[in-house]
Amino acid sequence: MRKYLVVSLSTGGGHATAGNSLAERLRDKGHEVLVIDLFKGINAKGLHNFICEGYNFIATKTPQLYETIYRAGNKPIIAKGSFDLTRRLSQRKIKEFINVFDPDVIIAVHPIVTDILGGMKQRGHLEKQKIVSVITDYLAHFVYVHKHKYIDAYFVGSDVTKRDLLKRGVAEEKIYPFGIPIKKEFYTPVNKYKNGKFTILVMGGSLGSRNMSSVLMRLMNVKDNLKIIVVCGKDSELKIKMDKFINMKPDKEVSVYGFVTDVQKMMDEANLLISKPGGASVTEALLRRIPMIIPYMLGGQEKENRDYLIEENVAIWVSNVKDITKIVTKLINEPEILEKMGMNMEQIAANFSVDNAIEVLENL
């Protein structure tokens, strides 16, 4: 039995999803696993409030500012100084925490955590531990690879991500394109449930999306009968707004949920997913072969995810939400489009495997 420390930060839900997925599988294999939210785990309240709570506020309230910050942090001249300061402020407490738990392997499921641990290893700390970074989007932010010489392995979402890391100088033998780890039920065989109506799943990610109201209004204008499943995440105010669409039109069967744990079943019921392109959500959709329409997103990593999906012909980008009505109508009337997109998704996801990732972790 080995000891694994899984470390994330609470900026969106995808990082925690990846970490918990690996932790669950490792525990199933009999290993001891501890999962922590880094700044909470070491009681660094100031850093948690500034970085994590600041992210959640900016991402939901001022997304344009978030994209500006993301782009700035992706530039080496800015990132090196700012994230090195984060390491210096947290390093002592992190070292104390790790000395107590004494893990064999540390799994970082966040770019800032990856950079901090890589910087600590560069300075002679963490000599006993192997460090693994899980990249939870389809292109890597600079902070993931800034200290790549001191990271022992990278788990990445696709061959496209792997090629991106190779261009940045990461050694090929460190890169494992096994897909972004998610809940184990998504890896089961796809069993599409047919309910007789064209079914659309509308999601906004763990934090919800304020643009979902506009999407629902356009779906109300589709002339065909629709079943619409709406998932609002943890945004209670958004759910109240979405509830207004229930029974709005007799030919639209609308169900509205908050935060849910059975997304896989909802995806298997749906013909189409309308969602922002977060790394975990994209991986879920690829594994369940549910083509996507993307009408909203965060800048930065989600824009990069969108570009990847469009290039692979598994998603449709809608720059003007008014176009959703005619696009959905076209997809209903020309089912071969969705069929082709589903086949592309199946091909991309063919090599996705948490079990392969666990095998790598056990042999580091």
Tell whether the torsion through CA atoms of 33, 38, 43 and 48 is positive or negative: negative
Q: Which of 181, 198, 217 is the last residue of a domain?
A: 181
Q: Which residues contact 41 (CB under 8 A, 6 or more apart)?
A: 7, 97
Question: Percent of the chain at pLDDT above 90?
Answer: 67
Q: Which of 147, 181, 215 is the last residue of a domain?
A: 181
pLDDT tens digits, 29-83: 999 999 999 888 888 888 888 788 877 787 777 777 777 777 777 777 666 666 6
Residues in the chain: 364
Question: What pTM, to 2 d.p., does this model score?
Answer: 0.90
**Sites in the chain below the pLDDT cut of 70:** 77-83, 194-195, 205-210
Asked if 305 and 234 touch (Cβ cutoff 8 Å), the reply is no
Residue 358 lies in a domain: no
Which letter, b or e, does each residue of 269-297 get, where b requires 16 or more Cβ atoms within 10 Å of its Cβ? Answer: bbbbbbbbbbbbbbbbbbbbbbbbbbbbb
Residues 42 and 73 placed together within one structural domain of the fold: yes
CA-based R_g, the chain, Å: 21
Structurally, the chain folds into a number of domains equal to 2
Residues 206 and 110 placed together within one structural domain of the fold: no
Residues 89 and 171 placed together within one structural domain of the fold: yes
Residues 157 and 9 placed together within one structural domain of the fold: yes
Residue 355 lies in a domain: no
Residues 20 and 85 placed together within one structural domain of the fold: yes
Domain extent for 249? 185-350
Residues 212 and 252 placed together within one structural domain of the fold: yes
Looking at residue 214, which CATH number applies to its domain? Answer: 3.40.50.2000
Q: Which of 153, 181, 209 is the last residue of a domain?
A: 181
H helix runs in the chain, sequence order: 14-28, 38-41, 45-47, 54-61, 63-73, 76-101, 111-122, 142-145, 159-167, 212-220, 236-243, 263-269, 279-288, 301-311, 324-333, 335-348, 354-363
Q: Rounded to whole angstroms, how far apart are CA atoms 87 and 12?
A: 21
Q: What is the C-alpha end-to-end distance of the chain, expressed in Å?
A: 13
Residue 360 lies in a domain: no
Residues 59 and 158 placed together within one structural domain of the fold: yes
Looking at residue 95, which CATH number applies to its domain? Answer: 3.40.50.11930
Residues 271 and 309 placed together within one structural domain of the fold: yes
Return the pLDDT at 70.
73
